Structure 1
Amino acid sequence: MSQTIYLMRHGQTLFNSQHRIQGWSDSPLTEKGVNQAKIASQYFPENQIKLESAYCSTLERTEDTLLQITDLPYKRLKGLKEWNYGVFEAESDYLYPFNNDANFFPLFGGESDLDVQKRMSTTIKDIVTQDHSSNILIVSHGGAIRSFARAWRKYEANSNYLPYENCCVLKFIYENDVFSFQNMYNHDFSSLES
């Protein structure tokens, strides 16, 4: 039996709007972030997708996003948290290394890309093996989602990755112990620009 995972990034937060590195640090959704989540919630009914179960990380920004998407009961899981950026948490994002060296953040008390890939893959695999729903919503974080996608890249059906905007949705099919990336959807938030 195949299962479909809708892996979604949270809405804009205060730290996003201030261009600060968030990681395990948390900040609330902005008004724009709440509105992004409301717009993103339409993706599912517009595509005749009936969500059957829902999960989010233990960080407030994912839970607040999920609450705008569905009224399903949900579980908060630590394994879905954002990448731990160590001493760079809450600092200006101009300090973020552009080369994405997988071993950079452990030098400063954070996680490596491999750490995040393993944590996300283990957590999401636990979800699908314990929850036999056909359509599962998981609200997580940009860095953690990127790491998960990298872990399963060799199985992807589509390599058309767009920028990981707030409230983007990545669709994965889980079958035969493999997560296969299908497509990604970024929403049109032009009505929110002012």
Structure 2
Amino acid sequence: MTMIYLVRHGQTLFNLQHKIQGFCDSPLTNLGVEEAKIAGRYFKEANIPLDEAFVSTSERAIDTLQLITDLPFKTHKNLREWNFGTYEGEGEHLNPPLPYGDFFVQFGGESQTDLTKRINQAVTDIAKHSNKQHILIVSHGASIANFYREWEEFSPVKRHGSIKNCSIMAYEYLDDTFISKEIINHDFSNISLDENN
């Protein structure tokens, strides 16, 4: 049995500032660092023996992974976030209503179809070619959401709302199919940042 754990990165500066962040990058905030540590503790406390790790080439994702586990890891460009073209770094108030579809193509970005194809191909390649049982993949909100949509018909566990920072989506990979088993949204309400500043 192969289990895939898809994790969104921790809160970043651009998340905090409500800026569009796809291929562009910004650092984790102090809260984002603590979120990633809590995600890491989840795997330990749930006795999930992560034995392989992959991550987007974006620094925010790499930093998150390194706070979750000390496993060696491989970067993968196709695990990156949606390319929003010239909308990168602009305010989120400029986003069109969902679904975005082909909206960002006219601004040099990618279509939803292309994003879905590349994230699905990346995760499938990882699952298909790995001989490990518990694989951690750190990626991004829109990428993970579109992966979920691709396999939603096989998902007994349904998603409600957006993909939260450092949430974990657990999939079983069986017979070339990804079956959602659990969605873990952590309680970050007790995080105190006074000690970390």
- Shorter-chain TM-score category? over 0.9
- Segments of 5+ residues of structure 1 without an aligned counterpart are none
Shift of 1:192: 2.4
Shift of 1:101: 3.0
- TM-score, normalised to structure 1, is 0.95
CA displacement, residues 156-191 of structure 1 (integer Å, 9 cap, x when unaligned): 122243431110000111110011122211111112
Task: Work out whether 1:104 is the aligned partner of 2:111.
Answer: no
Task: Work out whether 1:92 is the aligned partner of 2:91.
Answer: yes
2:152 aligned residue: 153
- Segments of 5+ residues of structure 2 without an aligned counterpart are none
1:121 aligned residue: 120
Amino acid at match of 1:94: H
Shift of 1:193: 6.0
Shift of 1:45: 1.5
CA distance in 2, matches of 1:187, 1:112: 31
Task: Work out whether 1:190 is the aligned partner of 2:189.
Answer: yes
SS of residue matched to 2:106: helix
SS of residue matched to 1:42: helix
Task: Work out whether 1:48 is the aligned partner of 2:47.
Answer: yes
Deviates more, 1:80-89 or 1:39-48: 39-48
Shift of 1:110: 1.0
Amino acid at match of 2:181: Q
Shift of 1:20: 0.3
Asked if the contact 2:168–2:185 (Cα under 8 Å) also holds between the matched residues in 1, the reply is: yes
SS of residue matched to 2:128: helix
Count of aligned pairs: 193
CA distance in 2, matches of 1:193, 1:19: 22
CA displacement, residues 94-152 of structure 1 (integer Å, 9 cap, x when unaligned): 11122223121112211111111110111111111221111000000001000111111
CA distance in 2, matches of 1:128, 1:30: 31
1:74 aligned residue: 73
1:3 aligned residue: 2
SS of residue matched to 1:51: coil
SS of residue matched to 2:75: strand
Deviates more, 1:102-111 or 1:33-42: 102-111
Q: How high is the sequence identity, in percent, across the aligned residues? A: 46
Shift of 1:44: 0.7
CA distance in 2, matches of 1:180, 1:114: 21
- TM-score, normalised to structure 2, is 0.94
CA distance in 2, matches of 1:101, 1:193: 36
SS of residue matched to 1:159: coil
Alignment of 1:26-65 (within 5 A): 26-65=25-64
Q: CA RMSD in A?
A: 1.3
Amino acid at match of 2:157: N
CA distance in 1, matches of 2:159, 2:92: 26
